[in-house]
Structure 1
Amino acid sequence: MLRHCFLFCIFLFSLSLSAQTPKDSTRVAQDSTKSDVLLKQIGNGFFPTSFWNFDLRYLVKFNQYEGFRTGLGGVTNDGFSEKYRIDSYVVYGFKDHRFKYKIGGGARLNEDTKTWFNFSYTDDLLESGSSKFLTDSRFFSFFEPRLLNIDLFHKHITSAVSLEHQITPNLTTETQLAISNIRPTYSYNYVLDDKSYDDFETTTATVSLQWSPFNQYKTKDDKLVETKNGFPKFSLQYTKSFREVLDADFNFSKLDFRTIHKITHKNKSYTTGVLTAGLAHGDTPLTHLYHAYPNNINKATILSRFSVAGINSFETMFFNEFFSDRFTTLVAKHYFKPFAIAEKFNPQLVLISRFAIGNINNIGRHQNVSFGTLKHGYTETGLEINKLLLGFGLSLTYRYGGYHLPKFNDNIALKFTFNITL
């Protein structure tokens, strides 16, 4: 419903632009450019005003712990300042009856190298077992399917400072120092040195790099503009947690790696591959382990598990089924040329194969939770038929190999897909 209202507003805005009677061709071109810029901004998840860009990610979301989550947030734009920015939000969960917020900002230290010093104070939730690269580009989707079924969150209050820096146009870095108070929302204890922790403090330093060696750029109006989004791309991140520094409880380190590749074929089809690996060493609680991005609900029948497929998630892997302190996943997809059935009906067939392997040391330290390991290798294969109606399609995935389940139906995931581009 929100998506339709949103698109309807865009449609009305476009009509209002086209209804104007331009005085000359220059005015028509300017209006068209403004409309294109607005649509691009909205497609990136922002609604711009003169000095503040509202972030559409905070309007409405849903998950199993908060229920509906709604609020407002955003970041200042060049109309406010080219050298300083404010980046903040506030949201409310209707199921847990709790406000979450972030107060943040930044100062530009060098324009040519896009060097920014940032600070933030965040009181919010994170999915336990998730991992994110600091250098990842901001991701926005009108509909985040995996989020609907997540129930394993931990509360965190985090104070952080970071430094963004572009070494070259193809190599960017971000370094962060953070202090966090973490409290799982589920029953969990981590046992270390005869002490049981149900909440804990961490003090971490993180260095993240993103290398896109095949991107191409040109100078336009004294600014560097990307002309080609090349592949493969590489991300590397190292995190170190220091025990007894600012009252931190655990000493551990994490090393994360990811590469993304895309091969475009002559017949307008293309193939993508995402290889991800992670290694956690030391006294690592469940909140900071790896879960391989499962996306299947723990229910009895295929139809009761019917939901929406994610992008790189494992559709037949049940939530909270596996955790690892070292793992590797590979997701390969082949997109066929869209079927030209009608002018506005061009469904697309996608073949998908996913593989994950991992393991964990000291599993007995994790109390009040039950999960398995990926040491035998997890495999699933499936297909999607996308863009059948209003951006929706269908996905069918089958689980086989080392973690094939005894009941045949439990190995099958039938779901919606959702793809829309403004």
Structure 2
Amino acid sequence: MKKEIFFLFLLCALGAVSQTRISGEVVDNNGAPVPFANVVFQNSSEGTTTNEDGKFYLQSPRNFRTVVFSLLGYRTRVVPLENPVSVEMKIVLEEKTDQLGEVRLVSGKTSKKNNPAVDILKKIWKNKRKNGVKAFDQYQFQKYEKLEFDLNGIDSTVVKNPLFNGMEFIFDYADTNNLTGKTYLPVFINESVSRVYGDNIIGEKTEEVLGNKNSGFSENQNLIAMVKDVYDEYDIYDNYLKFFDKSFVSPLSQTGINTYNYVLADTAYIEDKLCYNIIYYPRRQNELTFKGNFWVNDSTWAIKKINLETSKDANINWVRNVYIEQEFNVLNDSVFLLTRDFFMVDFSYDKKDKSGGIYGKKTVLYNDYHFNKEKPRSFYKKAVYKQKQEIYSRSDGFWEENRREPLSSQEKDIYVMLDSLKQTKAFNRLYDLVTIAESGYVEFDGWDFGPVYSLFGYNQVEGFRTRLGGRTYFGQNDLWRIEGYGAYGFKDNKFKYGISGKLLLDKKLRLIISGGNRRDVEQLGASLTNSTDILGRSLASSSIISVGDNNKLTSINLTALNFELEPIKNFTVRVGGSYRTMESASPEFSLDYYIDDSYTTTSSEIKQTEISTILTFTPGRETVGYGVEREIINEEDFPTFFLNYCIGVKDIFNSDFDYERVQFFYNQPLKIGGLGRSYVNLEAGKNFGNVPLGLLSVVPGNQTYFATYNSFPVLNFYEFVTDTYLSAHLEHNFNGRLFSRIPLIRDLNLREIVGARAVWGSLSEENKAINASGLLLQAPEDGPYWEYSLGIGNILKFLRLDAHFRGNYFDNLDARSFAITASMGLHF
């Protein structure tokens, strides 16, 4: 009862803003829902279509008294509106019996032959390269972008939620969504204006931001960047539209006829151009597809208008619905250019209609197009350093001039509401909690405590372990930062610590000096490619549950000094020196080595000075910030090339060995259309010179039940040791494409993962000879060691389980043939 009163009050309150509002469902003579029927206010272009359940919602600020319901194959109904607000309408459309076979929408497959809609689709494919900015050698245009986030499903229970105590005034700014009819509360808005330049000949593109403005968070560029990263760029003419780390089949795809049903529904003149209206909807359930319709010109075969809406059963987490609208204008009577792009996401924990959630809305308006104005290739190479604070403080006059459409009264109110909200203690407490969850640090004035996720750990050497740490933090663009921690093991009764510092010396070249010291216990055999992080510590060092004895840990004392610069965007050069001592942290494990030619005298401690040069190239990586540390905003969307050349220098600081080492690492994420996403990792390395076990390349095993990046889960620690190696890791996530074909199983939205790993290596007789650890050192030189895995992801939306199987070398000491690992994470 209270909920109904609240909604009635809200509808009355909104009546002055929305003059006409209707909702309901459309059914046929038998009471069955009629999907994709047209719902249009009479004598206007304001309308919508019913969803797959025949339901609709339509709102307009104008005063209408008549609405028209139509669909080819049904008799059109013109319905007068007795009240400006008419909800729960039930409209019955009568079928035209002479056209039923032609236009009836059915599940399953419709004919591809003698289908005029498919014939039109083929003409779209043939002409798509000739439309839009791709029709020109070079292009440039201005782009206005508006991002907005809203809480939806606002009702009395939400208003009274203790979470909002002290913030109740925000509900005065609630409104109603035009597409869903849900009450929502705007909580964030960001506007930006930029100039985009592109060259189709050389395949380059760059964007210059002219202004950026948002509600209350102008200094938090990380937040702005993360919000923007939710929305990947897409082209409706591409075969796949990629967002939320998923590839959705485009209705204009050349494989679309195998994925969608198409129906030619109508013809009409739009701006004096004859256009065809085609309705499309998916052939199967649980696939990454859309439903909706588009208008296409009858001579250029270019899209004039299109809308796309994801199916409710699409295998994507935390998203109830995605809705896209695009509009195009004619250039020179032939080329159609994008002028408006609207993208709305309904984020929610579940997909029930009545559940609350968050709307994420993006509106992009394009204008001021110019073509074939060539610029040199160097123009597209963005500078590494771009500090333009004025971008975030443009005047009101700038925004009045550059907005392509005015803000609504509700959107203007967001700025007012957020400014007031930031002054409340309740909001700041909530904001702090979200910040801690995202960064892992608790913020204080000038420094942060954390990361909180490393407070506790356990391994067989240290037993229960606690760690307290912190860092300086005056802002996200600090030019220097100091970070440190202290840790204590309650089994070995030893104190550990680490401290490091970074200073940005030159902003344009990003010249950084860094250094520090760490004394801790580490699992060295957990990665082939050496970490350059002075405070780094692998997950394998803190195993709560392990398989067999997991006591092969090392006490390490590492001191390092490095210089790094980025002369070209995403290409970094790092030169540094380090000194480290290593010895076993456990009486059951030894790093001993012979120090004489007669192999009778041993040493238990390794002292080593090393000088290294590291080159890293990450093309396509996007970062935010210009301080000594930056945030990466597209973590899994770019390849990584890593080359390390280092030399060990004997006798400097009593260093023990002379040697050279070369290591190469390559990582490539790949989106393979509708088949899912793959990850390819290749590593290679070689040591020149004789070194003991602690300086060799250990093939990374994993004796825990938790997944460790680029390790071999069926290998034990130190099972294979090499001085020359080549390894490959392949993994493919089908994103539920296979499970979606299995009844009952598909409702669980599980995702199937397959993987394979292999490593070949060798170990010289000289390096074997100086080993005095008691371990049998062997390399996979009789043929590559390999294993494969089968996994199920998205269990309860956060859990992944993998079963791993050994492919060979079953005769190794204590060899395991099978392993299970688990990992947790929130993924779309």
TM over 0.5: yes
**Bigger CA drift: 331-340 or 347-356?**
331-340
Question: How far did residue 75 of structure 1 move?
Answer: 1.8
The residue identity in structure 1 corresponding to 2:508 is D
In the superposition, relative to structure 1, how do residues 94 and 136 fare at CA in structure 2: closer, same or farther (>3 Å)?
A: closer
Is residue 294–residue 317 contact of structure 1 (8 Å, CA) maintained in 2?
Answer: yes
- The secondary structure found in structure 2 opposite 1:372 is coil
The residue identity in structure 1 corresponding to 2:647 is K
> What is the rounded CA distance, in whole Å, between the counterparts of 1:343 and 1:139 in structure 2?
40
Unaligned runs of 5+ in 1: 1-13, 298-306
The residue identity in structure 2 corresponding to 1:199 is E
> What is the rounded CA distance, in whole Å, between the counterparts of 1:96 and 1:139 in structure 2?
21
In the superposition, relative to structure 1, how do residues 66 and 394 fare at CA in structure 2: closer, same or farther (>3 Å)?
A: same
Which of 475, 480, 491 aligns to 1:84? It is 480
Question: How far did residue 346 of structure 1 move?
Answer: 3.3
Is residue 461–residue 491 contact of structure 2 (8 Å, CA) maintained in 1?
Answer: yes
The residue identity in structure 1 corresponding to 2:563 is L
Which of 514, 519, 531 aligns to 1:118? It is 514
Which of 46, 52, 63 aligns to 2:447? It is 52
Question: How far did residue 132 of structure 1 move?
Answer: 4.6
Structure 1 match to 2:668: 261
- The secondary structure found in structure 2 opposite 1:25 is helix
Which of 588, 591, 608 aligns to 1:202? It is 608
Question: How far did residue 216 of structure 1 move?
Answer: 5.4
2:322 aligned with 1:175, yes or no?
no
Point out the structure with max Rg over C-alpha: 2
Measured against aligned partners, the alpha-carbon deviations of 1:125-165 in whole angstroms (never above 9, x if no partner) come to 23233455556799899xx4674144222212222212232
- Percent identity at matched positions? 22
> What is the rounded CA distance, in whole Å, between the counterparts of 2:803 and 2:708 in structure 1?
12
Is residue 541–residue 553 contact of structure 2 (8 Å, CA) maintained in 1?
Answer: no
> What is the rounded CA distance, in whole Å, between the counterparts of 1:119 and 1:410 in structure 2?
40
Measured against aligned partners, the alpha-carbon deviations of 1:308-336 in whole angstroms (never above 9, x if no partner) come to 33332211112221111111111101101
> What is the rounded CA distance, in whole Å, between the counterparts of 2:697 and 2:488 in structure 1?
27
In the superposition, relative to structure 1, how do residues 179 and 17 fare at CA in structure 2: closer, same or farther (>3 Å)?
A: farther
The number of aligned residues is: 394
Structure 1 match to 2:810: 404
**Bigger CA drift: 203-212 or 331-340?**
331-340
- The secondary structure found in structure 2 opposite 1:183 is strand
> What is the rounded CA distance, in whole Å, between the counterparts of 1:36 and 1:330 in structure 2?
42
Measured against aligned partners, the alpha-carbon deviations of 1:60-85 in whole angstroms (never above 9, x if no partner) come to 12222212221111321234992332
> What is the rounded CA distance, in whole Å, between the counterparts of 2:630 and 2:717 in structure 1?
43
Which of 381, 398, 415 aligns to 2:788? It is 381
2:760 aligned with 1:360, yes or no?
no
Is residue 715–residue 816 contact of structure 2 (8 Å, CA) maintained in 1?
Answer: no
- The secondary structure found in structure 2 opposite 1:284 is coil
In the superposition, relative to structure 1, how do residues 269 and 48 fare at CA in structure 2: closer, same or farther (>3 Å)?
A: farther
- The secondary structure found in structure 2 opposite 1:318 is coil
In the superposition, relative to structure 1, how do residues 204 and 234 fare at CA in structure 2: closer, same or farther (>3 Å)?
A: same
The equivalences for 1:191-230 within 5 A come to: 191-194=594-597, 195-215=601-621, 230=637
Question: How far did residue 350 of structure 1 move?
Answer: 0.6
The equivalences for 1:342-357 within 5 A come to: 346-357=749-760
Is residue 670–residue 677 contact of structure 2 (8 Å, CA) maintained in 1?
Answer: yes
Question: How far did residue 44 of structure 1 move?
Answer: 4.5
- When the two structures are superposed, what TM-score results if normalisation uses the length of structure 2? 0.43
Question: How far did residue 206 of structure 1 move?
Answer: 1.7
- The secondary structure found in structure 1 opposite 2:694 is helix
Structure 1 match to 2:52: none
- The secondary structure found in structure 2 opposite 1:314 is coil
**Bigger CA drift: 279-288 or 94-103?**
279-288
- When the two structures are superposed, what TM-score results if normalisation uses the length of structure 1? 0.81
Unaligned runs of 5+ in 2: 1-160, 171-412
> What is the rounded CA distance, in whole Å, between the counterparts of 1:196 and 1:179 in structure 2?
21
- The secondary structure found in structure 1 opposite 2:749 is coil
The equivalences for 1:26-65 within 5 A come to: 26=415, 29=418, 39=434, 42-53=437-448, 54-65=450-461
Is residue 58–residue 89 contact of structure 1 (8 Å, CA) maintained in 2?
Answer: no
Is residue 682–residue 727 contact of structure 2 (8 Å, CA) maintained in 1?
Answer: yes
2:561 aligned with 1:155, yes or no?
no
Question: How far did residue 225 of structure 1 move?
Answer: 8.6
Question: How far did residue 19 of structure 1 move?
Answer: 6.1
Measured against aligned partners, the alpha-carbon deviations of 1:208-235 in whole angstroms (never above 9, x if no partner) come to 2210123357999xx9997766433201
> What is the rounded CA distance, in whole Å, between the counterparts of 1:97 and 1:58 in structure 2?
19
In the superposition, relative to structure 1, how do residues 172 and 47 fare at CA in structure 2: closer, same or farther (>3 Å)?
A: farther
Alpha carbon RMSD of aligned pairs, Å?
Answer: 3.7
> What is the rounded CA distance, in whole Å, between the counterparts of 1:395 and 1:190 in structure 2?
38
Question: How far did residue 382 of structure 1 move?
Answer: 1.2
- The secondary structure found in structure 1 opposite 2:714 is strand
